[in-house]
Amino acid sequence: MLGASGVEMTIAVSEAGGMGALAAGALTPDDIVEQSAAIRQRTAAPFSVNLLVVRPAAPDGATVAAAMERLRPWRERLGLEAPPTPNSFAPDFDDQFAALLRAAPPVASFAFDLLSRPQVEALQARGTLVVGTATTVAEARAWAALGVDAICAQGGEAGGHRGEFLKPGPGSLIGTMALTANIHAVVDLPVIAAGGIMNGRGVAAVLALGAAAAQMGTAFLLSDEATISAAWRDRIETVGDDPTVVTRAFTGRNARGIDNGFIRDMRQDEDHVPAYPVQNRLTRELRAAAAEAGESEMLSLWAGQGVSLARAGSAGDLVQRWWEEARAASREVHERTHGRGDLRR
């Protein structure tokens, strides 16, 4: 989880018997190699490294100027000067990928777009299993055709950015239950279900659907190892029945988070903001300043639909608790399906 987790959470989850994932989407090539080595040094358990497949962006000056102007009222609220136009909008993916090959983690996962077949094969030749993120069956088929080792089925409930790449938008917002079952039915690869899984009951549910594993993000946001700002943490703790929404206003790519003033005010303009990574880069200072000032109305509060079920604790303890809960839930289902269940529970 880019912006929400790092080396410590990866190690804690892997040590507890899960598979921790290092969010490497914003890391420099050297950091990818160094942080992977640091994880290896502190745990013998398998872990994965996640990259975002982002093509180089070269927006024209007018597009950038219009996007900056749209953000002016928000900068003014925070007392920020207009920053100079950035020279680059995202880390170079090819450089990150070359570093990933050097790091050769046990597993590497990718979101936002496809790799090429030679890239998949190069990782596999280094002993790295490759996971592609899909939000539709068509995307899962596209990853499978490249020879990847597993598919992450990211349902519409999921927090943070959507992995969608073939037809971004409402058609790619399929619920985890339908998506997992549909991909499992047509793709002959292990499916890792993601989206709205908040505890052991959710884990048992996706395993029952045929998933090989459950991937959880939002459920870790209140863990000790989460690296989110105090304002973001506070909004999660107090979310109650408030909704999460999908917006492209913050970054130019659809992402799910807790609704706030920025998202609502940008609603009419969000179709016009430049695509990721440009808008993401242009709002970076704004979001950092909002976090610093504790201004949750201007902050990207990424979280999934299950957010009110997030609980505090160490990430390792949470993983172990969820596994116990999954065992208990599957016993309960077994009893119900064998006629001994108490249907009033």
Ligand X SMILES: Cc1cc2nc3c(=O)[nH]c(=O)nc-3n(C[C@H](O)[C@H](O)[C@H](O)COP(=O)(O)O)c2cc1C
Interface with ligand X by CB under 6 A: which residues? 1-4, 23, 25, 50, 52, 111, 133, 154, 157-161, 194-197, 215-219, 302-304, 306
Give the number of other CB atoms < 10 A from CB of residue 127.
9
Minimal distance, residue 279 CB to ligand X, in Å = 16
Of residues 75 and 161, the one with the C-beta less far from ligand X? 161
Of residues 63 and 320, the one with the C-beta less far from ligand X? 320
Minimal distance, residue 132 CB to ligand X, in Å = 10
Q: For 81, phi and psi rounded to 5 degrees?
A: -75, 155
> In whole angstroms, what is the distance from residue 100 CA to residue 97 CA?
5
Minimal distance, residue 4 CB to ligand X, in Å = 4
C-beta pairs of 320-325 under 8 Å, 24+ apart in sequence: 320/16, 320/17, 321/199, 321/200, 322/199, 322/200, 322/203, 322/216, 322/219, 323/17, 323/200, 323/203, 324/200, 325/199, 325/200, 325/201, 325/203, 325/204
Minimal distance, residue 179 CB to ligand X, in Å = 11
Of residues 5 and 70, the one with the C-beta less far from ligand X? 5
DSSP string, 127-161: T-EEEEEESSHHHHHHHHHTT-SEEEEE-TT--EE
CB-nearest residue to ligand X = 217
Residue found under tokens 């949750």: 296
Minimal distance, residue 233 CB to ligand X, in Å = 12
Of residues 196 and 316, the one with the C-beta less far from ligand X? 196
Enter the tokens of residue 146.
């490249």
Of residues 50 and 296, the one with the C-beta less far from ligand X? 50
Minimal distance, residue 73 CB to ligand X, in Å = 26
Of residues 70 and 91, the one with the C-beta less far from ligand X? 91
